[in-house]
Amino acid sequence: MKIGIPREIKPKEGRVALLPRHVTALAAAGHEVLVEKGAGILAGAPDDGYIQAGARVLPSARDLFDHAVMLVKVKEILPPEYGLLRSDHILFTNIHASLNREQLDRLLEVGVTAFSAENTHPFGSPNCPLAGEVGALEAIRLCLAPHGGTGRHFMGHFGEAPIKALVLGLGNVGRGALRVLLGLGAEVVALDIFEGARKAALLDWHDRNLTVDDISALPRHLPEADVLINCVLWPKERTDHLVTRPMLGKMKPGAAVVDISCDTAGAIETSRPTSWEEPVYVVDGVRHFCVDNIPGAVPVTASAGYGAAILPRVTAIADRGVVQACREDPWLARGLTCAAGELILAEAGRFQKRPFTPVEDWLARQG
C-alpha cells in the first residue's frame, strides 16, 4: 500500500505521524511510504532520514495526497486540505469528529474511509502524559506575577507556602501533571471520582505535598487554588459542567484555569480551544489556557510516542485491508469513523443527532 505522511499545517504543530524508524518497518513489510517535504523537521526528522529509511519525499501536499492511498496524520483535516481528499483515501488521524461537523461533512461527502486515532488506544493517547506534563508547566508559568498570577513560587521558601494547584482527574493526563507539580514542590489537591485512582496517587506520591479527595469536594477546594488544571475528558453529550461560570467568581484574584482536555463547554463551562499563537483568554477576570494541541510543543518526544503507538494499527490496515484489520482488532474498529459516505462512529452520530451505522453492523455487511 502507498502510505503518505503529510506535513501538519495546524498552527505551531511540530509533530509528525511517523518517524524514520517507523518508516523502516513499513518499508520492510513491502509498503511504499511517501513523505511530504519538511514534514518531520520540527520533530527532529529531516528529509534525508526518511530517504535512508526507504521513503520517497514529495515536494507538496498535493503531490502526496495525489499519490498516497493511506494518509497518516496527527491532527484533523483542515479546510486547506479538504480539496485534496479522494474517495479511495484511507485516513488515520485524530479527527475529533463529534465536535467538528464541517470536517465530518467533508469526509462523508468525499466518501473517505477514516479512522479516529484518538479512539483506537485502550489506555488513551500516548501523548496524554506529555499533555499533562507540559500543561502543568504552563500552569506554573501562569502563577507568576508577570503573567497576571498570584505571585507565589512553585516551592515553599522563607515561610511562604508554595502554589496550590487543584488537579481534576487522575488518568494519564492528570498523573502527568502531578509528576511535574509535585516534582517541583507545589502543593497539590487532586480530585477524582474513582477511589482506586485516588489511592494509587497517594501510594505513588506518599512523600509529597498531595491531598486527594472526591470530585464532589471541588467547591470547597476551589477558592484556595492558585491554578485549576482540568484533566477530565468530559462526555460530549453531557450538558452540565464541573466548573460553571458562576464558580469562577469563587477563585482568588490572579488564579488561572488550565484546561488540558479543553472540551468546548465541557467539564469547564467557559472553556473553548485555543492555539499556541493565542493560548490565553479571560472570562470574568480569570485567565484560561486551553491550547488543544499541547504535545505539539514537544514534537520530538511526542512524535516518537505517537508513531510507536499507531504503527501496529497502520501496519494492520496496510497489510490486511480495512475490513479484516477491524475484524481482528476491536479497538481499531472502535475508531472507524466513516466509509463510503456512511457515518459509523456512534459518538459522532449521537452527539450531532445524525444517522449512523454501528461498526458491528457495518462489518457484518462486508461479506
Angle, to 10 degrees, between the axis of helix 128-142 and the axis of helix 299-328?
150
CA 75 to each of CA 15, 97, 189, 267: distance values in angstroms, whole numbers, following the listed order: 9, 11, 32, 22
Cα 80 to the center of its chain, rounded Å: 21
What amino acid is encoded at 142 in this protein?
L
Catalytic residue status for 263: yes
Query: What does the alpha-carbon distance between residue 163 and residue 316 come to, in Å, rounded to a whole number?
Result: 47
Catalytic residue status for 153: no
Region of residue 322 (phi > 0: left; psi between -120 and 50: alpha; otherwise: beta): alpha
Strands (E), the chain: 2-5, 32-36, 56-58, 70-72, 90-93, 113-116, 164-168, 187-192, 210-214, 227-230, 256-259, 280-283, 286-289, 336-339, 342-343
Name the catalytic one among 259, 263, 288, 292: 263
End-to-end CA distance of the chain: 22
Name the catalytic one among 96, 121, 226, 288: 96
Got the DSSP string for 38-88?
TTTGGGT--HHHHHHHT-EEESSHHHHHHH-SEEE-SSPPPHHHHTT--TT
Query: What does the alpha-carbon distance between residue 192 and residue 215 come to, in Å, rounded to a whole number?
Result: 5
Query: What does the alpha-carbon distance between residue 289 and residue 287 come to, in Å, rounded to a whole number?
Result: 7
CA 278 to each of CA 11, 146, 166, 271: distance values in angstroms, whole numbers, following the listed order: 10, 17, 24, 14
Query: Catalytic amino acids?
Result: 96, 263
